[in-house]
Structure 1
């Protein structure tokens, strides 16, 4: 595994002491509304854990109660401890990281958090290992309902292996829900070898179209874009090195569901997800209001039918392979276009994702 990428161990474990030490906004969350229940969960996280957190925003998918969650690149453990409250005592959260300093910090506060949450036994554990080798680190195949990642996939030199390993450890119907940095083209070798730009989550950024291809090769459903925000570089030297390359932080959701189901469907959201009782923002193309009938493309119908969301919807098949006129076929949304659109509408237009927040809910 490439030395430049794993030199980020030194960058995150030693050179960065606080979030304020970062040189771009790629891994810093701008101020956006955070659901009350997530805010309350974050308040219970030990302040030392929060101070050493370098992720880009909150990565909190919906429907979490009772779920088994894996956090790739868990760092100080902030997200793990927040999620451990949302999955409940019957759920479980595992964090995997390759950084000794961060793992030591995360493990130090396990007992503190379990006492704070009122749990009889820990529902959080931390594993040392690489995100390209999850099973080698002792994580079992088909064992997680959700895999999350917060601005760390770009730190890997072999992103296909990361996706493949995530697919391997997910249960059938499971989801990879992750925020990361994407580029408007393929990064040059010169930029890839820039250590600071690696640590700032830019040098390893995928061209967003390559993500679509890699996901298909691994076996995931077509990626669904949740939200996107423009990344700014407030450092002239770094900007000169980057040249014309532009970046966005974006959140995608990928599912491990059966292939071949392309029938459109009518769905009714039942309104039962914690934090999204009235409206469930699935992605940038679909927001489901409780009790409203919505026609969805086959890929989305397939995801909703075979994932943890199945019990949250009532389904009404249309009968045709392509659905009625008025339901557009699935198209890949350009995250740069979405970021511009959301920038015009304002930061409150869509909640969720990298450099933002998303609501949570239930695994039954």
Structure 2
């Protein structure tokens, strides 16, 4: 997709309360100290703040999101976050860019050690292109931490597109085979599943919240997974 197509897709897609489905941040805490970490679709920065605390004074975090308003909010809270985290300096930065075009945020080839993507891949304009761009940003051997949702069977495309428009990252899920194909094409090794659980399409972004769902008669089961994959 070109820049105009990406702008047309993402314009107005704020998803005010975050993406549907709970964001758990399943992180290898002891592997993040001193790392250069990329937080893709960082939203208001809360995840990036957590990553910055784990990266420590010797590491850094770049949060990227397509929403200028969310990026400004993330920047506004950054000083409080790094001080609260006990750091001696800010290791946080934020930039506006589409996940399919991280170069617009100044992300160079092989410049990152770790990339984190939380509950958003199923909603992106071009998931395969976004994962390829993340692969470009990671150094060889770099770690992708991907939290996403898998469907147990091929999907009704009309339902998927309606779910994507709603921001329901669960109901927009693709199959495991499709997701693994995206990762392989992007240059990643076979991922390790570090956590998984069944999840309903109506499950909200926090405990007790519900998400709007698209109508349809599919008999689909969904599985929320945390995957770790390394760039070859």
1:158 to 126, 134, 155: 126
User: Residues 140-219 of structure 1 correspond to what in structure 2 (within 5 A)?
Assistant: 140-194=108-162, 198-219=166-187
Q: Deviation of residue 237 (structure 1)? A: 8.2
Contact 1:59–1:178 under 8 Å retained in 2: no
Q: Deviation of residue 115 (structure 1)? A: 3.0
Contact 1:71–1:148 under 8 Å retained in 2: yes
Contact 2:39–2:48 under 8 Å retained in 1: yes
User: Residues 161-310 of structure 1 correspond to what in structure 2 (within 5 A)?
Assistant: 161-194=129-162, 198-234=166-202, 238=213, 240-241=215-216, 243-257=218-232
Q: TM (normalized to structure 1)?
A: 0.55
Q: Which has the larger radius of gyration?
A: 1
Residue 103 (structure 1) aligned with residue 71 (structure 2): yes
Q: 1:287-312 CA distances to partner (integer Å, 9 max, x unpaired)?
A: xxxxxxxxxxxxxxxxxxxxxxxxxx
Give the match for residue 62 of structure 2.
94
User: Are the structure 2 counterparts of residues 233 and 137 from structure 1 closer, same or farther at C-alpha, using a change threshold of 3 Å?
Assistant: same
Q: Deviation of residue 94 (structure 1)? A: 0.8
Distance 2:109 2:6 in 1: 25
Q: Deviation of residue 97 (structure 1)? A: 0.5
Give the CA RMSD over aligned residues: 2.6
Structure 2, unpaired ranges of 5+? 203-209
Distance 1:226 1:8 in 2: 34
Residue 131 (structure 1) aligned with residue 106 (structure 2): no
Give the number of aligned pairs: 220
Q: TM (normalized to structure 2)?
A: 0.84
User: Are the structure 2 counterparts of residues 161 and 172 from structure 1 closer, same or farther at C-alpha, using a change threshold of 3 Å?
Assistant: same
1:6 to 3, 10, 14: 10
SS of the equivalent of 1:96 reads: strand
Give the match for residue 326 of structure 1.
none
Distance 1:236 1:74 in 2: 20
Give the match for residue 27 of structure 1.
21
